[in-house]
Amino acid sequence: MTSLMLAEAREAPERVAALLRADAAAYAALAEVLRARPPAFAATVARGSSDHAATYLASLLGIRAGLATASIMPSLITRYGARVSLGAALVVGLSQSGRSPDIVRTLEAASASGAMTAAIVNDPTSPLAAAAGHVLAQHAGPERSVAATKSFICTLAAAARLIAVWQEDGALLAALGRLPERLEQALACDWSGALAVLAPAHSLYVIGRGPGLAIAAESALKLKETSGLHAEALSAAEIRHGPRAVIDSGFPLLVYALADAGGADARAFADELDAAGAAVLLASPEPGPGTHLPLPAPLHPLLDPIVAIQAFYPLAAALSVARGLDPDRPRGLRKVTETV
């Protein structure tokens, strides 16, 4: 029987297609304001999978718009009463439900300080949407699985669309139009070769760099949530600053070697660790060291991470079952988490 998590992940291509058909005026309006009043920097506020989507957005803002992006700790506002100076910033709140009080209050504080604010949210009637100056709907449809899948992918697609419209990037817009088809191809990728390595594992590293680091973080979270694995996401550069010492013979590594500069760094690290005897699982369009987890042909360097996480979700659901767990019933978790 197909898990709810996997069924919802399989909806992602059609939900992204719906997102790309809708809300042209909302994207154009926000892009016009951003061009007329260029922000000095950007900031994001999010938790969980949405915070990983914020990491992806931060990469795109830096690469395409030249903006440094900070992740705001909501406790600065909600627990310590700090008055954070955000008047020169673009502040984006990201959430599936839009109902966590700390995220909402932080975006309200940003608006009060004069920031340009936006929300990427699945529920456009939520408190977070009400707190934002601009709302970009995820169009993921109802998501009942505790482990977010299609809403995460739709959030990434919305972030990429915002950048493409704002920067008037025709190549990225054209590639977005082909994204639903590429997501379908990703669902057909066979990652079952990873099960023999991960089913008995106790911990692993998930490696990425650049925009790929966001999906490494999302993959690690899903492995924790649905398979009880202690998974840690690390940059292919950061891992050399200490965490490399943990890796010994047979240690599992899921490496996202995507077709960009950061992906090349991840592949080089995979080569090194494979030679040292680590259990390398290489997610890449082309075979390389270790066990190959195939990906579709590259679409666009900024969109390939979205395709890669789509290929990962079926593995996460299958691994949960292989470890005797239920991906739809993560221990101690519920769908909507409200923190203050």
Active site residues per annotation: 335
In the chain, DSSP assigns E strands to 41-45, 69-71, 89-95, 116-121, 134-137, 203-208, 230-235, 252-256, 279-284, 291-294
Q: Name residue, tokens 């718009």.
A: 65
| H/E stretch holding 109 | helix 101-112
Vertex 312: Cα angle to 193 and 150 (nearest 5) = 155
Q: Evaluate the CA torsion angle 301, 49, 182, 14 in order and state its sign.
A: negative
Q: Name residue, tokens 């990728």.
A: 189
Nearest of 129, 138, 141, 146 to residue 93 by alpha carbon: 129
| H/E stretch holding 32 | helix 24-36
Burial 18-41 (b: 16+ CB within 10 A, else e): bbbeebeebbeebbebbeeeebee
**Alpha-carbon distance 145 to 132, whole Å?**
26
- C-alpha 332: how far from its chain's center? 22
| Inter-residue contact 306 to 314 (CB < 8 Å) | no
